[in-house]
Amino acid sequence: MREEVIIAGYGGQGILFMGSVLANSAMVEGLEVTFFPSYGAEMRGGTANGGVVISNKKIGSPIVTRPSSLIIMNELSMKRFYPMLKKKGTVIVNSSLVKEIPKSKEVKIIKIPATQFAEVLGNEKVANMIALGAYIKETGIFSLDSAIKSLHSLLIADKKVLVDINEKALKLGASDEY
Amino acid sequence: MREEVIIAGYGGQGILFMGSVLANSAMVEGLEVTFFPSYGAEMRGGTANGGVVISNKKIGSPIVTRPSSLIIMNELSMKRFYPMLKKKGTVIVNSSLVKEIPKSKEVKIIKIPATQFAEVLGNEKVANMIALGAYIKETGIFSLDSAIKSLHSLLIADKKVLVDINEKALKLGASDEY
Amino acid sequence: MIRIMHKILIKGNHAVVEGGIQAGCMAYYGYPITPQNEITAYMAKRMGEEGRVFIQSESEIAAINMVFGSSLTGARTMTSSSSPGISLKQEGISYMAGCELPGVIVNVQRGGPGLGNISGAQGDYFQSTRGGGHGDYRTIVLAPYSVQEMFDFTIKAFDLADKYRIPVILHTDGYLGQMYEPVLVKELKSDRKTKKDWILDGCKDRKPRMIRSLLMDEGELEEHNWKLNKLYDKIKMKEASCQTCFTEDAVVAIVSYGTSARICESAVNILRGKGIKACLIRPTTLWPFPEKTISTIAKKVKNFLVVEMSLGQMVEDVKLAVNGMSRVHFYGSPGGGIPETKVVVKKVKEIIK
Amino acid sequence: MIRIMHKILIKGNHAVVEGGIQAGCMAYYGYPITPQNEITAYMAKRMGEEGRVFIQSESEIAAINMVFGSSLTGARTMTSSSSPGISLKQEGISYMAGCELPGVIVNVQRGGPGLGNISGAQGDYFQSTRGGGHGDYRTIVLAPYSVQEMFDFTIKAFDLADKYRIPVILHTDGYLGQMYEPVLVKELKSDRKTKKDWILDGCKDRKPRMIRSLLMDEGELEEHNWKLNKLYDKIKMKEASCQTCFTEDAVVAIVSYGTSARICESAVNILRGKGIKACLIRPTTLWPFPEKTISTIAKKVKNFLVVEMSLGQMVEDVKLAVNGMSRVHFYGSPGGGIPETKVVVKKVKEIIK
Amino acid sequence: MMDKNKIYRPESLTDVQNIYCSGCGHGIIHRLVAEIIDELEIREKTIAVAPVGCAVFAYFYWNFDVTEAAHGRPPAVATGIKRILPDRVVFTYQGDGDLAAIGTAEIIHAANRGENITVVFVNNAVYGMTGGQMAPTTLIKQKTTTSPRGRNPRYSGFPIKISEALAALDGTTYIERVSVHNVKNVINAKRALKKAFKIQIEGKGFSMVEFLAMCPVGWAMSSEDSVKWIEEKMIPEYPLGVIKDA
Amino acid sequence: MMDKNKIYRPESLTDVQNIYCSGCGHGIIHRLVAEIIDELEIREKTIAVAPVGCAVFAYFYWNFDVTEAAHGRPPAVATGIKRILPDRVVFTYQGDGDLAAIGTAEIIHAANRGENITVVFVNNAVYGMTGGQMAPTTLIKQKTTTSPRGRNPRYSGFPIKISEALAALDGTTYIERVSVHNVKNVINAKRALKKAFKIQIEGKGFSMVEFLAMCPVGWAMSSEDSVKWIEEKMIPEYPLGVIKDA
Amino acid sequence: MKTKYKVIIDEERCKGCVLCVISCPRKILKKSEKYNSKGHHFVEVVNEMKCSGCNYCYIMCPDIAIGILKND
Amino acid sequence: MKTKYKVIIDEERCKGCVLCVISCPRKILKKSEKYNSKGHHFVEVVNEMKCSGCNYCYIMCPDIAIGILKND
Ligand SMILES: Cc1ncc(C[n+]2csc(CCOP(=O)(O)OP(=O)(O)O)c2C)c(N)n1
Ligand SMILES: Cc1ncc(C[n+]2csc(CCOP(=O)(O)OP(=O)(O)O)c2C)c(N)n1
Ligand code: SF4
Ligand code: SF4
Ligand code: SF4
Ligand code: SF4
Ligand code: SF4
Ligand code: SF4
Ligand SMILES: [Mg+2]
Ligand SMILES: [Mg+2]
């Protein structure tokens, strides 16, 4: 089993946090995992992305060049990463911000208006967890529980107050309510 | 033919100049020559010395460890370099300043009161040329003429005025007048 | 020895910091540079929490010389930087080597030469292993290939530095520094203080000491060089290490370290899957280089493929170890690129054809 | 081309200055350090006389970066220092290499590591030939062995630097720098100005240009590295050079460069005098290393003795060239000592026994 | 005011959009430099030295010859250029980390030599490019990634006033501190920088303008707050005005 | 005044004769340091950092712990020592080349951080150890091996007043300039240096004493002329007295 | 009716920093609800009529994303 | 007659820099014609009687080659 995900969006959309939760959840389930976020000047341009590799075997390169899944939070990222997707891959797309969604029979496209949903929950910033919830539901690569556990261990100190809303968002994304 | 000379004395006795004249004279006569003076912190201690190698063949190491001749301008240098002298070697010694002169049948020791003579000539500083004159006479390795030529080419610009007295000193050292 | 262990998902750069903290690093000096900024920032936080010394120095040169200062008092000390900043430390490293001062220098390599880029790279192998500074000296060079090893090897670096009174370089790269992986963090009970009878801390109840590298007396420096050489020989004997797999029946040996070794590990698995008898030799110390292991293997295995994220640097050490017994091939990806698993597989196939 | 020739007795350091003047060096930047102080001092005088640029910079780092600045205007430029100062220039050299800027860097080596001593030494071979700075780059390294060559190779260094747009290191030592020998000074008529279409001098009548080493676009740096690699390969093909004598019938080959090669030259003569068939291989370029010559000789000569004023650095290049075909022995005198002729002779005798 | 139906861009700027963060002071200062170079008609004889810092990509934005120095070394590189080409206009563009930390020796000695160059010094009290670390100019109590509890002078020293220190050197001709946090100050900043360039053109020696500039990302603030922060925190620590006019 | 039939040597000096040239100021300053350390009874808790310069051999002369820093880096090394051992007395001893040229950044930032160390700064207007090259403190028109026609400010800049520059930094506590060219000044120099050490012992921060010192060999002068030269040429350029006492 | 000045906004270049907004003496600029392809909420003119042509917006813009044109 | 102060000179350590000579208020020191093993003309006391014990010579000596002893 080997899953390679690219998550991508603007700086400010919590892309790196989403990656951490994703990777942490895999770890919690005892899987091998690497998460390689973009960094430095690349982020100055206002984009953020990262690659997560999850496997039950030792992982070689942490760089994802042929992702099996994408979590796409904005338009630009769609343009950049969609062409890299593997055949039969899955795309979770934040349909609040991504308008041009390609049609293809070869890949599975899950649209979720994450930003809108997040606004409803009261904080635009949790769009990332909504998308992640959708991803978990879709791929079933690990349990929602592990993700919630990860949330709790990653949001510490002054960020503890954010656990609730993030948890809600995760659950919303993973639910069938949309 | 291969001659290796160490010249040594205090800083201020014109040891390096003596080395240059010596080496230059060899060059003038078409011989191979290297002159390696002491430098840097070694000189901070107040001593100055150098090794000159003269040969009709290409010269390897410029460092003289077994000199065939010594030109010794002060007491300390005698102590330091005399033990290095080759058997049958020659020592030109400034007897004005060097009191403890070893006796040996294995080496040739030429005493010349260079500092006193120089004072007589009117400048303590030309003791070096007097000693060099003696060396030239003793070894005959090159002509006095070449040394005088070297003097002329080395003392340039504001030092031109010193040619005369240096030339006199050289000649005095090379003469039989003592 | 070990107090608690717990598994966390952290960046390689953070693992270096935690390793330092566990190893009893008492002072850290550094200057920001991508891709190792997390080390400096996280050190600022952690050293503050532990009541130890942290300074963001005015430059990399100041940092290495502060390391020099703290090290000579006996304190375990660290600095980190990335390629251009490491170049600036070369004089200081040479001084530490000359003065036999321990210390840990972390190089989270990026693309070069010049400003290059901020991607991970392995172009500083020569600098690390041959001494980018002046004079005859060596530093121990450790090459982790996972975030776990970033943690473990940092601790090992401090131990070796003290054991041999030598600067140790943790030779890593931007990929390892930036990557998150699960790490088993061991909290070490011992404060890992080594007894040191050569330090400067004031001459109370003993004769004054000096720590210096200027040796001007006749033959003094030469003697010192030979003494260092003896130390280096000892380290070569004792500390050269590497990880190998599938060597028993191999017909091709891949030699690779750090990030590129991860790719090669995958490649070897693929090759074995296809029935191709490849093996992997992964040096974990770059100096001393595990030349014995390699030369032993070279007696049987007639083809070597060296894979590096450079134009070819470790390949020289492999050739020296192989010493003409086998053919040595090379596949490099310089400038911040990462080698591709499928290219490694292809190269191996070409070689054995 | 040549205007006048005259023979004078000068120091090696002075010969470097005269070579620079004749080669059309338009700017010199340096910082004092023994045993190369005569270069800086004599440059102050000579550049002043010629109306060219001389600055005693605040540091070696400033000096190499001033070289960077003058070089990018197209001017022939030089800096000089000795070992610790050269360590400080490594970042700058890496930048010059990355930006493909020509320039001449003179290293009058002294004993190391650290402050070491001020005697002549050859402990910076690795630094010069492997790039003490970060990243994949090379510099041409020339190794004179007489004061005459100090003069000639300085001129050659400028020519090569411009020809390949590469920094060139004149790799010499305190013995050669301080020694006086007769030199045939050739006054060159040409101002040796190379046409350069890449320089920055204001964008009049052309598009603006930039000179930089930061290459952040996807794959951009990697491409640049491969481009540099191609250049390096070309230089390897064309510029590797060495002097050999008595190779025809030799049974032992001594490999040595610079000051130590002088000792070996004497030793070979002595050995031949005794009927022992020794030969000398003296690399005059250390990078590119004359590996072809050596590997050709290694087909016939089964024993090599490498003699260096270090703990053994060039010996690796010799081993790489010999590639297991012959045995490679080593005799080194680190720390500012000079090898002894009689020891070289003795070693050779032992080897052929 | 422009005459085409397009926003006016100085000739000395290329058409490339800068990658600076939203509200970053560098963009304004880049434009001022370009406007002045246009106005002085020196575009074709100008050579700029970009730093390592957020402004490292300046060569993509300026439409004249630009090189890139190693971190902290622009004054040395500029010296090397200007000594060979004394009739060209040579300036360095440097951040506070570049100029006042790693490059301290180079700026002090270029200034002390009275090099006839101009220095555009952008003080944003933080290392922008590397992600917001403490700079030598960071204010007391200012939080950065490497001063997580706020800069404590006891361990990290004081906000360094490098312009004042340079003014103390006999080699410097003109030094002024300006800000770009509002219109009035931007206009004044341009005047100051133009004067600095003129001093070089007239061969009068070393000139430098220190710009207090917003770094909303490094400061983790909105643009609005950044502007206020300059007014309320930075200017009291770094008073504006001519520091030296010899 | 001593009681044995031998010339009195402070306990903090070894019996080794220094290799300084005849009339060199370093010898006097070494003795002053030793006398003060004796008087303050801190010999057993002092760690000195020797520079690269003529004083590099200081460890042979001082009878306490001494290390040797790379050229220009003593303030960084001292910082590394003092931060680990805050209750020890740590001082650097540096020449003008070491402190005011290659080590400019290190001294400025150690001072700006307010490191609680003492700096003994020996300004002899020349690089002594390397044979008399121009230093940043060399006087205008002064001839040295690298300013053969005399220092020309046009190309080589101005005598740098680093003490004044350091005084401008908030991190510094006490800075004074003294001279050792005659008895009165040597006595005063000792008072100043003792004060500097006391400031460190009391934990008050960065203290530095700049000594104008004779270098007869580097200046190519007799001792007598060197003494006069300090009085007539150096002091007017480098006025003596307290520069900062915060 | 034609406005006296035309405020040109380059929506793609605008980074929504609002430096122009806070500098406009007539308070006629505001951040849009919309965003451009880079995710920035660019600025828009609320009441072009009131523009005095003072150019302050241009002076403050780090991105040359706003400019004033005189209609005549 | 016994002098009040004894001026001790370490002839081997003295480098003949004359800093003591020019500092002695009683002008009782001078450079000798003789020199030591290092070639330095060391100093000698001309008139020890006149020594005031002011210690100036010691204070100026870079080599601790001169010192004053009170005879009693
Ligand atoms: C030798 C070296 N050290 C460190 C770096 C990393 N680095 C890049 S930019 C920078 C600091 C930038 O800060 P500043 O000069 O204030 O410019 P800003 O980005 O704030 O405009 C640093 C430390 C480098 N490239 N080279
Ligand atoms: C990196 C480096 N550069 C240069 C030198 C050579 N060097 C030794 S001492 C010195 C200058 C000494 O001058 P100063 O600091 O004024 O001390 P002084 O000898 O005058 O007391 C120099 C440049 C060195 N050892 N290391
Ligand atoms: S980090 Fe700061 S200085 Fe750099 S581009 Fe962003 S706002 Fe500007
Ligand atoms: S050169 Fe100058 S500073 Fe050095 S020992 Fe001699 S007199 Fe003293
Ligand atoms: S020109 Fe003046 S009034 Fe018009 S929009 Fe711009 S700032 Fe406002
Ligand atoms: S100042 Fe420029 S970039 Fe900022 S909001 Fe206004 S138009 Fe947009
Ligand atoms: S103690 Fe005073 S009077 Fe006596 S010799 Fe010394 S300086 Fe002269
Ligand atoms: S001061 Fe000291 S060294 Fe100098 S002459 Fe007097 S006794 Fe001799
Ligand atoms: Mg900044
Ligand atoms: Mg000095």
Q: Is E216 in the pocket of ligand 3 (CB under 6 A)?
A: yes
Residue G38, domain extent: 5-70
Q: How many domains does chain G have?
A: 1
**Confidence category of residue B1, pLDDT binned at 50, 70, 90:** confident
- Rounded Cα distance between D95 and B107, Å, is 60
Find which of D127-131, F2-6, F12-16 is predicted with most confidence, using mean pLDDT: F12-16
Residues in chain C with CB shorter than 8 Å from the CB of D138 are none
- In percent, the amount of chain A with pLDDT more than 70 equals 96
User: Given an 8 Å threshold on Cβ–Cβ distance, is E148 in contact with C40?
Assistant: no
- Rounded Cα distance between F50 and D59, Å, is 19
Residues H52-69, mean pLDDT to the nearest whole number: 97
Looking at this predicted complex, what is its ipTM?
0.97
Q: Does E129 touch chain A (CB under 8 A)?
A: yes
User: Given an 8 Å threshold on Cβ–Cβ distance, is B10 in contact with H38?
Assistant: yes
pLDDT value of position C190: 59
pLDDT value of position C119: 95
**What CATH code is carried by the domain that includes residue C61?**
3.40.50.970
Domain boundaries, chain B: 2-173
Residues in chain E with CB shorter than 8 Å from the CB of C54 are 155
| E57 Cα: distance to centroid of ligand 9 (angstroms) | 15
Residues F138-161, mean pLDDT to the nearest whole number: 97
Residues C248 and C216 in one domain: no
pLDDT value of position C194: 75
Residues D163 and D219 in one domain: yes
pLDDT value of position D201: 98
Q: Which residues contact F70 (CB under 8 A, 6 or more apart)?
A: C65, C68, C91, C92, C95, D84, D114, D115, F52
Task: Look at residues D204, D239, D274 and tell me which one is the last residue of a structural domain.
Answer: D239
Q: Domain spanning B2-173 has what CATH number?
A: 3.40.920.10
Cis before residue C113, ω within 30 degrees of 0?
A: yes
Which residues of chain D fall short of a pLDDT of 70? 1-3, 189-193
Q: Is E128 in the pocket of ligand 3 (CB under 6 A)?
A: yes
**What CATH code is carried by the domain that includes residue C303?**
3.40.50.920
Ligand nearest to the CA of F55: 2
Q: Is E58 in the pocket of ligand 3 (CB under 6 A)?
A: no
| Rg of chain B on CA atoms, in Å | 15
Question: Could you read off the pLDDT of C295-341 as tens digits, one per residue?
Answer: 999 999 999 999 999 999 999 999 999 999 999 999 999 999 999 99
Nearest CA in chain E to D58: E109
Q: How many domains does chain C have?
A: 2
Tokens standing for A168? Answer: 């809600």
- What residue has token string 């917003």? E214
Residues D263 and D174 in one domain: no
Query: Residue whose CA is closest, atom 2 of ligand 4?
Result: F215
Give residues (CB < 6 A) around ligand 1. C 31-33, 60, 84-85, 88; E 52-55, 71, 95-98, 122, 124, 126-130, 135
Site to probe by mutation for ligand 2, drawn from D33, D40, D89 as the one with most ligand atoms within 8 Å of Cβ, is D33
- Rounded Cα distance between E55 and E215, Å, is 12
**What CATH code is carried by the domain that includes residue H31?**
3.30.70.20
D178 near D13, Cβ under 8 Å?
yes
User: Given an 8 Å threshold on Cβ–Cβ distance, is H15 in contact with F187?
Assistant: no
**Confidence category of residue F17, pLDDT binned at 50, 70, 90:** very high
Mutate to test the interface with E, among C36, C56, C79, C81 (most CBs of E within 10 A): C56
- Rounded Cα distance between D115 and C224, Å, is 13
Question: Could you read off the pLDDT of D45-60 as tens digits, one per residue?
Answer: 999 999 999 999 999 9
* Beta-strand runs (E) in chain D: 2-11, 27-30, 53-56, 77-81, 103-111, 117-120, 140-142, 167-173, 180-188, 210-211, 242-245, 252-256, 278-283, 285-287, 303-308, 327-332
Question: Could you read off the pLDDT of C205-223 as tens digits, one per residue?
Answer: 999 999 999 999 989 999 9
Domain boundaries, chain E: 26-245
Q: Quick one: which of B161, C94, C322 has its CA closest to D123?
A: C94
Residues in chain A with CB shorter than 8 Å from the CB of E21 are 44, 46
C-alpha distances in Å from residue A85, one per residue of B58, E162, F43:
72, 52, 71
Mutate to test the interface with A, among E16, E19, E22, E68 (most CBs of A within 10 A): E19
User: Given an 8 Å threshold on Cβ–Cβ distance, is B44 in contact with F131?
Assistant: no
Q: Is E215 in the pocket of ligand 3 (CB under 6 A)?
A: yes
Q: Is F128 in the pocket of ligand 4 (CB under 6 A)?
A: yes
| Rg of chain F on CA atoms, in Å | 17
**Confidence category of residue B45, pLDDT binned at 50, 70, 90:** low
Residues in chain A with CB shorter than 8 Å from the CB of G39 are 10, 12, 46, 74, 76, 97
F94 near F128, Cβ under 8 Å?
no
Residue B158, Cβ density class (10 Å: 0-12 exposed, 13-18 middle, ≥19 buried): exposed
Which amino acid, F163? Answer: S
Q: Is residue D196 part of a domain?
A: no
Which residue in the set F65, F83, F108 is minimally distant from C200, CB to CB? Answer: F65
Alpha carbon of C170: minimum distance to chain D alpha carbons (Å) = 15
- What's the mean pLDDT when you consider all of chain C? 96
Q: Which atom of ligand 5 is nearest to the CA of G5?
A: 4
Residues D177 and D284 in one domain: no
Listed in sequence order, the DSSP H helices in chain H are 19-23, 56-60
- In percent, the amount of chain H with pLDDT more than 90 equals 81
Tokens standing for A125? Answer: 């910033």
Residues B39-52, mean pLDDT to the nearest whole number: 78
User: Given an 8 Å threshold on Cβ–Cβ distance, is C68 in contact with F77?
Assistant: yes
**Confidence category of residue E111, pLDDT binned at 50, 70, 90:** very high
Query: Residue whose CA is closest, atom 6 of ligand 6?
Result: G20
Q: Is residue C274 part of a domain?
A: yes
Residues C30 and C177 in one domain: yes
**Confidence category of residue B34, pLDDT binned at 50, 70, 90:** very high
Label residues G23-46 b or e (16+ Cβ within 10 Å = b).
bbebebbebbeebbebbbbbbbbe
Alpha carbon of B77: minimum distance to chain F alpha carbons (Å) = 17
Residues D26 and D38 in one domain: yes
Q: Is H47 in the pocket of ligand 7 (CB under 6 A)?
A: no
- Rounded Cα distance between C30 and C67, Å, is 10
Q: Is residue F2 scored above 50 in pLDDT? A: no
Q: Is residue D265 part of a domain?
A: yes
Residues C42 and C86 in one domain: yes
- Collapsing DSSP to helix, strand or coil, D72 comes out as coil
Q: Is residue F79 scored above 60 in pLDDT? A: yes
D3 near D185, Cβ under 8 Å?
no
User: Given an 8 Å threshold on Cβ–Cβ distance, is F1 in contact with H53?
Assistant: yes
Residues C230 and C287 in one domain: no
Lowest mean pLDDT among A97-106, B137-146, C172-181, E162-171: A97-106
Residues in chain H with CB shorter than 8 Å from the CB of F1 are 53, 55, 68-70
pLDDT value of position B110: 95
pLDDT value of position E1: 42
Tens of each residue's pLDDT in chain A, 178 residues? 899 999 999 888 999 999 999 999 999 999 999 999 988 765 566 789 999 999 999 999 999 999 999 999 998 899 999 999 999 999 999 999 998 888 888 899 999 999 999 999 999 899 999 999 999 999 999 999 999 999 999 998 888 888 999 999 999 999 976 6
**Confidence category of residue C293, pLDDT binned at 50, 70, 90:** very high
Residues D157 and D254 in one domain: no
Residue G10, Cβ density class (10 Å: 0-12 exposed, 13-18 middle, ≥19 buried): middle
Q: Is residue D52 part of a domain?
A: yes
pLDDT value of position E33: 98
Q: Does D202 touch chain B (CB under 8 A)?
A: no
Q: Is F26 in the pocket of ligand 4 (CB under 6 A)?
A: yes
Full 3-state SS string of D136-173: CCCCEEECCCCHHHHHHHHHHHHHHHHHHCCEEEEEEE
Q: Look at the domain F26-245 and name its fold.
A: Rossmann fold (3.40.50)
Nearest CA in chain A to C118: A40
Which residue in the set E103, E155, E168 is minimally distant from F161, CB to CB? Answer: E168
Q: Is E54 in the pocket of ligand 3 (CB under 6 A)?
A: yes
pLDDT value of position G1: 64
pLDDT value of position B43: 57
Q: Is residue C14 part of a domain?
A: yes
pLDDT value of position C195: 86
Q: Does F28 touch chain H (CB under 8 A)?
A: yes
Q: For residue B129, what is the enclosing H or E element?
A: helix B127-139
Tokens standing for G15? Answer: 């980074």
pLDDT value of position H8: 97
